[in-house]
Structure 1
Amino acid sequence: MTAPVAGRHGEPSAHGPLVIAVDGPSGSGKSSVCRKVAARLGLAYLDTGAMYRAATWWCLQQGVDLADTDAVTATVHAMVLELGLDPRFPTFAVSGTDVATAIRAGEISAAVSAVATNLDVRADLGGRQRRVVDVERHGEGFSRGRGVVVEGRDITTVIAPDADVRILLTASEEARLARRARELHGSADAASVDATRDQVVRRDAQDSTVVEFRTAADGVVTVDSSELDLEQTIEAVLAVIARVTGRTA
């Protein structure tokens, strides 16, 4: 039997909406883990990093100089971004164009920090992210009120600091580089790791200038996946959720 979940005002609620906030550095496994956790719990899934990638793609498509912060802000503000929150088949479209594959290109990975460190863009996309959380809490979205798993860089501290569960998913630099190398190059040999290093280390360093995502804030539970495979990491996150809320998959 599922234990009651504490409601937002302290009232017990066995089936209330569940908001899970997950932050972490590149290569920590956030996207893969959060998608699986959301699917097992019947929750919506929001990849906020993909939103910044979509904004970067849109700016480049519009010929905007990413160093022109005002132009980037105006372009992102006008961007029509449609999100599909099914964790099994998440979708991203900009002005009706499916960008799910395009936003994972190396060109976008190399440029996204220029957009993600624009504070006005963060305010714009952060507002959109909060609206998604509110919609999923109130039964109007994909989850029909069951809730949402949101992952990114500033979710536990800025976007959903009142989330039911807040987790920092991290791993050693060595483990993160190996994972990203296997993802991008199919191998974790020395050459592949070196080819991946700039993307992972540089992006984390740049993004950390505007938000802290490498150290857990007060009340945030750290899960270190350095020595864990994907399934073990999923189980570790589910164990935190069960411990904090009583909710089990």
Structure 2
Amino acid sequence: MVALDGPSGTGKTTVARKLADRLSAGYLDTGAMYRMVTLAVLRAGIDPADAAAVAGLADGVDLEIGTSPQRPGFRLGGEDVSAEIRGPEVTKAVSPVSAVPHVRELLVARQRRIIAEVLGEVGGIVVEGRDIGTVVVPDSPLKVFLTASADVRAARRSSQDTAAGRQSTVADARESVERRDRLDSSRTASPLRAAEDAVPVDTSELSIDQVIVALCELASHRGLLAGCSAEAAR
């Protein structure tokens, strides 16, 4: 198992999916789960800052999340919300929703069940998020904390928004990622931080393929998933 943490704009999702695919492992995007709850909150007309109301709604949220790195799939009440959960409204509201302790308790328990199921079925999984190595699976044999400079992260986020048809300048994107960092790092429940034994990987000057090679080498050094490095270099 690989626990992959880090702030937004570091390439977590792309790296996690490609790494899981390369390893023939399962994949879990825990951030998408918080985004689905956030979307449910917004659709219900609840103020994301109203912790009690958010907690009450979270108990009844019907979410489904796929664990295939090729097509993970995100369904809320049976509806595919893969695109909607990446929109600016959800992005702006996800931090306060994620900070609600009851929401985190519910989703962490769900994440642990999914991880156990996938490990039992396929033998391996790459899990990405912000508290995987510190809270969700602190006993993971390989914990990685991705980082990147603020400028690089802002440029990446702006490019992603533009590609998705959303207007975004680099300045807007930088303000967004820095705001998210402040909120995620300062929350009381499971703040964003690297686990003490996590390996930091700065992706600022690395291509996706270079990051994959670096992670495969780490996995090999830990005695995990033999042959990964050779496969990643192809």
TM-score calculated relative to the size of structure 1: 0.85
Identity %: 43
2:178 aligned partner: 201
Match of 2:134 among 157, 167, 177: 157
Native 8 Å contact 2:153 2:174 kept in 1: no
Structure 1: give runs of 5+ residues left out of the alignment.
Answer: 1-18
Question: In structure 1, what is the equivalent of residue 44 of structure 2?
Answer: 62
Aligned positions of 1:89-238 closer than 5 A:
89-139=71-121, 144=122, 146-185=123-162, 192-210=169-187, 211-214=190-193, 216-238=194-216
| 1:179-237 deviation per Cα after TM superposition (whole angstroms, max 9, x unaligned) | 11111125xxxx821021221110111011134434x3221111111110111111111
Deviation at 1:137, TM superposition (A): 2.1
**What SS does the aligned partner of 2:222 have?**
helix
Letter in structure 1 aligned against 2:29: D
Alignment-mate amino acid for residue 175 of structure 2: D
Please tell me the residue identity of whatever aligns with 1:237: L
Q: Which residue of 2 aligns with 1:40?
A: 22
2:229 paired with 1:241: no
Q: Give the SS at the match of 2:169.
A: helix
Distance 1:229 1:203 in 2: 24
Question: Of 65, 79, 84, which aligns to 2:61?
Answer: 79
Q: Name the residue aligned to 1:4.
A: none
Secondary structure in 2 matching 1:138: helix
Aligned residue for 1:151, secondary structure, equals: strand
CA distance in 2, matches of 1:72, 1:154: 20
Maintained 8 Å contact 1:168/1:213? no
1:194 and 1:137 map into 2 onto residues whose CA distance is 41
Find the counterpart in structure 2 of residue 14 from structure 1: none
The 1-side partners of 2:159 and 2:224 are apart by 35
| Letter matched to residue 186 of structure 2 | T
Pairwise CA distance, 1:62: 1.5
Shift of 1:138: 2.1
RMSD of Structure 2 on Structure 1 (CA): 1.4
Cα distance between partner residues in 1 of 2:202 and 2:130:
16
Mapped contact 1:73–1:121 kept (Cα < 8 A) = yes
CA distance in 2, matches of 1:208, 1:195: 20
Question: Helix, strand or coil: the match of 1:22?
Answer: strand
Question: Whole-Å Cα distance in 2 between the matches of residues 174 and 198 of structure 1?
Answer: 11
Moved over 2 A (4+): 210-214
The residue matched to 1:200 in structure 2 has which SS? helix
